[in-house]
Structure 1
Amino acid sequence: MPRLRNLLVDTDQSWGGRRRASRARWLADTFPNLADMSVIDLGGRVDTWQHAPVRPAHVHVVNLEAPPADLPDWAEVDHGDACQLPDRIAARRYDLVFSNSVLEHVGGHERRERFAEAVHQLADRHWVQTPYRHFPIEPHWIAPGMQYLPVSARALLARRWPLAHTRPTTRDEAVREVLWTELVDYTQMRLLFPRSRILTERLAGLPKSLIGVAGATQGRA
């Protein structure tokens, strides 16, 4: 089953990897001056940009992981909470705020509101992507309809589902994992990003993820 998951989502050559590469090209098409921009990536990683088809002039990654030991000269990394940024970061301005598959993990509606406030404060342009709640496959566990189950059932599935990335060893750990993964829909995205264009990434005609975009000069719907 780990091999099947790799084929589906986890490697650059997988179906999911090809979708991520397509989304990176979409970002570059939407912001043609991306190579000249300073970008703050909320919740991401430097290696995302090392493999991107277009790399910004400067990337500032902020997440809860320990910073890597070696960084390229075009990148900086800070340990920080995107919903409660340190003043030294919150006071800065960037050309673009970027976030990929983070909004669903920040911890409830109130924290998502704070995340959105940070996005609006840091730049006039943004690209905030998150999986769509009503796509039939829950993307983190690759489990059909898992997002609609009661918490107890999701926790049980998280411990037993063969396509999970890593399986929690205890019930409490499983409950925490599923509670920290809360997919959102169009109504929630529109509330969080009322002046943004909400783009839809589709698979087989079905909405797969939502992308809140502001300040774009071009790009497809």
Structure 2
Amino acid sequence: MQVATPSRQSPSLYCFSLACDAGDLSFTTTKEPEIMLNQSQSVVEKEANQAETESAAHQPSLKVVYEAPKSQSFPIHKVYQIFQDYFRPRRKRAFMQLFPEVASGAPVVDIGGTAGWWKEDFPKGVDISIVNIDDDHREEVTHSGFKFYQTDGRRLPFSDKQFYLAFSNSVIEHVGDLHDQRRFAHEAMRCGRKLYLQTPNKWFPVEPHLMTAFIQWLPFKVSRRLLRYFSLWGLVAKPSQQQIDEFLRTTRLLSKRELKHIFPTAQIKEEKFLGMTKSFIVLIR
């Protein structure tokens, strides 16, 4: 997101535009002393530079991420791997039973994913288009034989029902606020004739990215202070306050009620762990 800043123009034009805005359209042919003009130019340039600096300082920044922020690339992922090794094989087997056409080459768009899910267990020749907001995964994706598109998951450049399946794995919780999540959901349903989307459950006691209980239920002002010293991620990764705020602002877990609201025609399946709903699988078949 960018905020427009005043264009740099010559001091004379800048002064003229200010005079016009004030309603002073009078003209004179009297020649002002050169020293006064130079002083006037200097003042205007200082004001213009100050305005530009202030605008840049207050310019809001929003980085939408489709994976855990890069600031989380720390050894804590070894902990994540324990749970992934348990859930992912089961999830993949269930996926292939639901959508066997994918193995035969039915076109799939993976919104916000990487090559990892597809290159490990799926046969060669699958037709996978991977969408991501940044370019970091392009080389891995293309070398794995898949198509790569750098674009925003909330504004996909594809035609309606272009793909057999729209797929997304642990992404929708990273795209922004509820409005952004609705846009993401709409685009996924628009581009795919079928849908498979997985996302963590907001009400599962442990926040899966931070490996810490209950912190996802706290207000932003509280959690940003606690996360550094009262979460596994904070203790292991030692993130800066900026990294903490980045994560909190770009991560919004969803409840089952919210998923039903933004995916009104979908079936919501629950993925259980120790008898509790750990995550949801959103299906349109």
Cα distance between partner residues in 1 of 2:281 and 2:125: 19
**TM-score, normalised relative to structure 1:** 0.85
Report the equivalent of 1:189.
259
Tell me by how many angstroms 1:5 deviates: 5.3
Map of 1:82 onto structure 2: 153
- Structure 1 residues 134 and 73: CA distance shift in structure 2, 3 A: closer
Structure 2: stretches of 5+ with no match in the other structure: 1-73
Q: Return the offset for 1:204.
A: 1.2
Q: 1:17 to 1:186 in 2, by over 3 A?
A: same
Matching residue's letter, 1:130: T
- Structure 2 CA distance for partners of 1:97 and 1:167, relative to 1, 3 Å: farther
| Matched ranges for 1:83-122 at <5 A | 83-86=154-157, 89-90=158-159, 93-122=162-191
**CA distance in 2 between partners of 1:28 and 1:138 (Å):** 28
Residue 9 of structure 1 aligns with which residue?
80
Q: CA deviation at 1:22?
A: 1.5
Within 5 A, what are the aligned runs for 1:51-200?
Answer: 51-53=120-122, 57-66=126-135, 67-69=137-139, 71-72=142-143, 74-86=145-157, 89-90=158-159, 93-160=162-229, 161-164=231-234, 166-169=237-240, 171-200=241-270
Write the distance in 1 (CA, Å) between the matches of 2:224 and 2:123.
39
Percent identity at matched positions?
26
CA change 1:200–1:163 in 2 (3 A) is same
Corresponding letter in the other structure for 2:215: M
User: C-alpha distance in 2, partners of 1:82/1:20?
Assistant: 23
Q: Shift in Å at residue 15 of structure 1?
A: 2.7
Matched, 1:30 2:101: no
For residues 199 and 105 of structure 1, the distance between their equivalents in structure 2, rounded to whole angstroms, comes to 20
CA distance in structure 2 between the partners assigned to 1:136 and 1:211 by the alignment: 18
- Aligned alpha-carbon RMSD (Å): 2.2
- Bigger share in strand: 1
TM-score, normalising length from structure 2?
Answer: 0.67
**Distance (Å, rounded) in 2 between the aligned partners of 1:55 and 1:116:** 29
Gap change, CA 1:4 and 1:175, over 3 Å in 2 = closer
Residue number in structure 1 paired with 2:277: 207
Q: Does the C-alpha gap of structure 1 residues 183 and 32 become closer, same or farther in structure 2, counting only changes over 3 Å? A: same
Larger Cα-atom Rg = 2
The answer as to whether partners of 1:63 and 1:82 remain within 8 angstroms in 2 is: yes
**Consecutive unaligned residues in structure 1, runs of 5 or more:** 216-221
The residue type equivalent to 1:185 in the other structure is S
Q: Secondary structure at the match of 2:193?
A: coil
The answer to which of 131-140 and 77-86 deviates more is 77-86
Q: How many residues align?
A: 207
- Between stretches 52-61 and 186-195, larger displacement belongs to 52-61
